[in-house]
A and B are shown apart, each in its own frame.
Chain A
């Protein structure tokens, strides 16, 4: 394992150019959460020609629906959800300037092509490690769609949030490469 790369959003193209699949990354700063229902609402806004609930340029979206915070805590368990359910929506958000996505599991060919076109990367956090990952979240506030409960859009402040680069801006895919290496 090589030394992790440290990144702080908002990200620019030059931050992504040297990233390679398999890189360990520690993210610090702001992440926005959104999953199924929130994505649908954001795309509906774009369809109507309206703006998104936050400025998406350079930002990273984390696909997560945290469990409720115990009193005195910032957030409950907060591991990634499976990403393919966001595939229909992601290219539209990349077109608007989204630079990173965090989730788990494979992305569609269309999403990987859009990542190459719009310069965006996809990173995996360890699925199910909800307790461990919650410790990296220092602040959490709902900024949109509160009625969606766990699916509301949250602004998270994170410190050393660990992810692995799965899709870089060249169309490479760690899931395919990793499986190939250990298949027998």
Chain B
């Protein structure tokens, strides 16, 4: 058994929260460039240029990319040959989020659902723990903004609607979201499983590099078709009209119950932030 101290986990999570909020990954920046080449609308091109400039300022001057520094969604892939020592894993993750949001001057956006009283330290983080083979621990932090999360949705479709029904639901969800989720967006889609796994698959789909395709050729074709249909809606960057409504559609799928056809759409804004580290 390999031992990993929770102190190391807390420090890593802290650093990942900070890094994710200040620096966009290459795949997102490249997607802005591709969008600029294809975009016909002058207003849209101006906005894409502002997004590129925003990312540069954020990184160079250590100002968060977006003032909404998100709900800290943490994915922990824990090797089954790892023994956690020095304390409680969940507490370490929460401490990492608290430290990261404080030390990184990140906005604390988590509150009581009804009183709206802010918890003050951006916790609790949402932690998804998965046991995997091996002796490593992979930590991923996805700061999820509220504006785009609010435009997400899940639906228990009837099996009869089939693949076309799923596609129509996804496109309709993006159309209804319009300018609100800060397009150009990344659209994560989860198909199958149960009510909650569809949503989790949709969120995990956001973690795939932009421009990658599902390994299943049928799903890869569906991703391509959905992206084209979405980009024909005309919503465009910031919803002010244009060709670039989404940068990518990523689909995850698993079997479902004979009675069910769950589908979930998790929308991510253009400030598509996530960082990871393997311990």
Q: Which residues of A contact B (CB under 8 A)?
A: 1, 22, 36-37, 64-70, 73, 76-79, 81-82, 84, 104-106, 124, 126-132, 134-135, 148-150, 164, 166, 174-175, 177-184
Contact = CB atoms under 8 A, between A and B. Distances in A.
Interface in B12-48: 40-43, 46-47
A81 B68 CA distance: 8
For the complex of A and B, 3 pairs with smallest distance between CB atoms: A178-B241, A183-B234, A182-B234
A126 B64 contact: no
Contacts of B120: 149
B66 A77 contact: yes
Nearest to A67: B107
A77 B64 contact: yes
Nearest to B47: A126
A26 to B, nearest CB: 14
B155 interface: no
B220 interface: no
Nearest to A182: B234
Interface string B131-151: 000000000000001110010
B271 interface: yes
Given A126-B50, A180-B234, A104 B182 contact: yes
Nearest to B272: A128
Contacts of A68: 105-107
B207 interface: no
Contact of A1 (B46, B62, B242): B46
Instruction: Tell me which of B64, B67, B118, B241 has the highest count of chain A C-beta atoms within 10 A of its own C-beta.
Output: B67
Contact of A76 (B57, B63, B240): B63
